Amino acid sequence: HVQLVESGGGSVQAGGSLRLSCVASRFTYRDACWGWFRQVPGKEREGVARIDSDGSMTEYADSVKGRFTISQDNAKNMVYLQMNGLKPDDSAMYYCAAAGVHCFRGYWDRWSFGFWGPGTQVTVSS
């Protein structure tokens, strides 16, 4: 079965940077939509960024535009999230997600993805 594993989380001061990585094992779909989500206790899991495997689109939540960059390495089945200018409000558990189809245009949420990693914690101190 498909397995996603995130890495790169940690603790950083406000204004700092982190780069999250996600590797997908046994992911044999020709097409894919990759996403990063985050969640804090008591709140809904929110989409941060997504990217289509064919490079046709990337999309970001308004709260991270200009600070975060999603990228991918299709040959390695890996997706990355470069996070710059981190703020305390960015503190959350970050999850990698994948779908074996192209990204749907328009509204997207956690239900657009069928495969998930266990998450990596990001903590930003002020």
Nearest-CA neighbor of 36 among 106, 101, 105, 122? 122
Mapped onto helix, strand or coil, the DSSP state of residue 8 is coil
pLDDT, residue 99, reads 96
% of the chain exceeding 70 in pLDDT? 100
Pairwise CA distance, residues 121 & 20, whole Å: 10
Three-state SS letters, 18-53: EEEEEEEECCCCCCCEEEEEEECCCCCCEEEEEEEC
Q: Report the length, in residues, of the chain.
A: 126
Average pLDDT score, the chain: 96
Tens-place pLDDT, residues 36-61? 999 999 999 999 999 999 988 999 99
